Chains A and B, each alone.
Chain A
Amino acid sequence: MIGSLGQPLLFLLALGFGFGPIFQKAGGGDYLQFLTPGIISMGILFTSTFTGIEVIWDKQFGFLKETLVAPVSRFAIMFGRTLGGATIAMAQGGIILLLSMIFGFRPMSILMMLPAILVMGLVAIIFTALGTAMASRMEDMHGFQLIVNFLIMPIFFMSGALFPLEGLPSAVITITKLNPLAYGVDALRFFLIGTSHFGILLDLSVLMILSFVFMALGSYLFSKMEA
């Protein structure tokens, strides 16, 4: 838990204080305000994808095997596992939020932090399910580095977590529009600092639809998984 908080905090502090003055000069306002929702999304992205991918390890050496031979549906196992992973990721997102407040982040209202936590939950469900879906098709951990470098990192960098989407080249905009995390970052920004690029209705619709789609895909592949 502590280990998985280290990286987001490093990003928050290094980037937040490093780029803060330039961002301010460019007229972007307080960078720490802008960055914090992005870093929360980052923490959730990593934690929840890894929870999903852990299935590979878990089906051989872990407790998961015990549940795979029990007379319960695979869907129930996958569902429970995803909600468990999402809970941890949400807690982690909440902790990053609280810590960022120590460093000077000010959410626009305390009340709006509640829907923000729900958005974190949706993002976590999407990526835990995505990780589970991939893990169900993978034999071993060899593909793991590939997934981190060619999927997780691009999803993070192309989500608008670090920079505003306004005024970007259209190619980049198109990529971010296809990126599930972009809608999570955007929704978090709406509830925490009151700005949004896509509009909160679109954000929430995309997040909810994708949660369903990825859960369905994840549980289908998980139910077909052979250990």
Chain B
Amino acid sequence: MGPIIEVKNLQKHFGSIKAVDGISFSVKKGEVFAFLGPNGAGKSTTIKMLTTMLKATAGELRIAGHNPSIDPNGARSNFGIVFQDPSLDDELTAKENLLFHGALYDIKKGLLNERMEKLLKVVELWDRKNDLVKQFSGGMKRRLEIARGLLHHPKILFLDEPTIGLDPQTRHHIWNHILELNKSEGITIFFTTHYMEEAEHVADRVAVIDHGRIITIGTTKELLKRTKKKDLESAFIALTGKGIREEEGSFIQNMRLRRRVMRR
């Protein structure tokens, strides 16, 4: 069987800026794959292309055999995603959010109820299923989003910085759930993170991307050997340099900031 995610010479240009500049990699079924890079390296742009949110400028893409630009719905029904920014409906209960997801993915009612109970128990939100999402903490929302992302039994789960802003306990907890599902269901996990020890701990393979290109790809051990470092964080800095990346003060960044302030 071929790889479940296949990317060949993928490019995305925004005007003259090459956000993703010809990357190639593949992910095997059941693998836990970490996609690392400094701010503005092209991580999110790549995930957006993989998940049909952005159209590639050039290159080839396959998600479970489907080409997202030709058959977006074929690709969409094969992955689940947890976005960097929450995308739950705060005015609905946990259960209603999942019911809506079930309707979007056309899951039969009996099956939906069965999976819903199982997943909500896995992420330990079964007791809270009838509570409004706006009463949930950040960690609870993340757990609910993971449950939602898995509801249609996807082959791949994309996680875009799934543990950002969470305390170590919650992070630990969430990763346990994800890895359990990876083992029991064979779901392929593709995630981005800024926490190097997290990637070192859970990922089978790691890709490091910078300036829209993949610098290196391999297991953590291989990366440490190549860079002659003791941990992934030093290896990462050795690979991408010490300079702090100035991300443009984009609209999204500003809004994200403002939203956090407003929540306080």
Contacts and interface: CB of A to CB of B under 8 A. Distances in A.
Contacts of A227: 48, 53-54
Contact of A70 (B55, B104, B256): B104
A69 B51 contact: yes
Interface residues of A, number: 21
Contacts of B252: 60, 140
Contact of B104 (A67, A141, A142, A226): A67
A61 B85 contact: yes
B83 A65 contact: yes
Nearest to A62: B87
Interface residues of B, number: 30
A17 B74 CA distance: 60
**In the complex, which of the residues A63, A139, A141, A227 has the most CB atoms of chain B within 10 Å of its own CB atom?**
A63
A72 interface: yes
A141 B87 contact: no
Given A71-B77, A71-B105, A226-B55, A140 B251 contact: yes
A103 interface: no
A68 B51 CA distance: 10
Given A61-B85, A66-B88, A140-B252, 7 more contacts: A61-B256, A61-B259, A65-B83, A66-B148, A69-B76, A70-B105, A141-B251
Interface of B: 48, 51-55, 72-74, 76-77, 79, 81, 83, 85-89, 101, 104-106, 148, 250-252, 255-256, 259
20 contacts: A60-B252, A60-B255, A61-B86, A61-B256, A61-B259, A62-B87, A65-B53, A65-B87, A66-B87, A66-B104, A69-B79, A70-B76, A70-B101, A71-B76, A71-B105, A72-B104, A139-B251, A140-B252, A141-B255, A227-B53
